[in-house]
Each structure stands twice: as C-alpha cells, then as structure tokens.
Amino acid sequence: MSTGAIIAIIVVVLVLILLVAFLMPRMGARRRQRELERRRGEVADAHREEASSRAARAEEAERIAEAERAQAEAHEARARLHERGLADDDLDTEHDRMSGDSRFERDTPEERPTTR
C-alpha cells in the first residue's frame, strides 16, 4: 500500500473514533431521558388513579353526609312539632318507633305517660 492510502485509512479511523466518542454519550443521554419520561408518566398515572379514587370516596362520603344531615333536620323538625304540642296524635307511634333507640327510652315502664 502506498503511504497516502495508509494515512487516509488512519485519518478515517480517527474520525470514526471521534464520532463514536462524541455520539455515544448523547445516545446514552437520550436513552436516560426516554426512561425518565416513561417513569414520570407512570408516576403521574398512579397519582391520577389515586386522586380519582379519593375523589370518588369523597363524593360518596358527601352523599352519605347529606343524607344524614337531611335525616337530622327531619328529626329536629319533628322535635319542634312535639315541643309545640302540634304532633300529640303521633306520640305513641313516635315513641314505639324510637324505642329501639335507647336515647328515647325511659328508665322504667311505670314512668311512661298514658294518653288514653
């Protein structure tokens, strides 16, 4: 081979080595960037699923609280009627209905009023 061909081969090899040395870190950085983006997406999706689950539980709790609040308001309205004497006709049925709840029971059966 001639000296010019050997020098050309050496120059080409050096250029290839420099290109490989320059491109390899960039290819690694791109791979790391893709992996980072994938992991970000996975974590973001997990957070979105958790947020959706908690929002659904919160909505259910709000619905239950609303129903409980409505029942409490109904009981309060009935209590006001009884205090004013406007629901005396319902005393026996109300007492029987509420007797399952110990808060509305009297200590002894003798103390119960009779309305006959």
- Percent pLDDT > 70 in the chain is 82
In contact, 112 and 91? CB cutoff 8 Å: no
Could you tell me how many helices (H) and strands (E) the chain has, helices first? 2, 0
Mean of pLDDT over the chain: 83
pTM: 0.49
Residue 100 confidence (pLDDT)? 64
d(Cα 73, Cα 67) in Å, to the nearest integer? 10
Residue 79 sits at φ, ψ, to 5 deg, of -65, -40
Signed CA dihedral, 74, 72, 111, 85: sign only: negative
Which of 91-95, 98-102, 111-115 is least confident? 111-115
- Percent pLDDT > 90 in the chain is 45
The confidence band for 74, taking pLDDT boundaries of 50, 70 and 90, is very high
Of the two residues 64 and 31, the one the predictor is more confident about is: 64
Q: Vertex 48, ends 34 and 59: CA angle to 5°?
A: 175
54 pLDDT exceeds 60?
yes
Mean pLDDT on 40-56: 97
